[in-house]
Amino acid sequence: GHRLTWNRYPTLRIIEEYFNYVADTYPSICKLEKIGSSSENRSITMVGVSNGNPNNMGILVLSGLHAREWIGITSALYILNNIVTKFDQQPEYIKNKNWYFIPLLNPDGYEYSQTVNRLWRKNRRKFKRCYGVDINRNFGKDWAIDGITENHECKDAYAGPFAFSEPESAALRDVVTKAKGKLDALIDIHSYGQLILYPWSARPWHNPDMKVQKNAAEAMTQAIFDSTKNLYKSGETYHMVYPATGSALDWIYASGVTHAFAIETRDTGEHGFLISPHYIEPTGKELFIAVKQLAKVLGPK
Query: What positions carry a catalytic annotation?
Result: 264
Q: Applying CB under 6 A, which of residues 4, 80, 144, 262 lies at the interface with ligand 0X9?
A: 262
Asked if residue 122 binds ligand 0X9 (CB under 6 A), the reply is no
Other Cβ atoms within 10 Å of 130 Cβ, number:
13
**Residue 106 engages ligand 0X9 in binding (rule: CB under 6 A):** no
- Which residue from 188, 236, 267, 286 is in contact with ligand 0X9, where contact means CB under 6 A? 188
94 contacts which partner out of Zn ion, ligand 0X9, none, CB within 5 to 8 A by kind?
A: none
- Residue 296 and residue 207: Cα distance in Å, rounded? 23
CA atoms within 13 Å, Cβ hemisphere of 41? 0
66 scored as a contact of ligand 0X9 (CB under 6 A):
yes
Phi-psi region of 234 (alpha: psi -120 to 50; beta: other; left: phi over 0): beta
Tell whether residue 197 is a contact of ligand 0X9 (CB under 6 A).
yes
Q: Is the peptide bond before 242 cis (omega within 30 degrees of 0)?
A: no
Question: 290 and 223 in contact (C-beta within 8 Å)?
Answer: yes
Residues composing the chain: 301
Q: Which helix (H) or strand (E) holds 218?
A: helix 210-228
Considering only 81, 82, 247, 265, the residue that binds ligand 0X9 (CB under 6 A) is 247
With CB under 5 to 8 Å by kind, the binding choice for 186 among Zn ion, ligand 0X9, none is: none
Task: Tell me: does residue 241 bind ligand 0X9 (CB under 6 A).
Answer: yes
Q: Nearest 5°: phi and psi at 186? A: -130, 135
In whole angstroms, the minimum distance from the beta carbon of 41 to ligand 0X9 comes to 25
Q: Which entry of ligand 0X9, Zn ion, none binds 286, CB below 5 to 8 A by partner kind?
A: none
For ligand 0X9, the binding residues (CB under 6 A) are: 66, 69, 136, 188, 190, 197, 201, 237, 241, 244, 247, 249, 262, 264
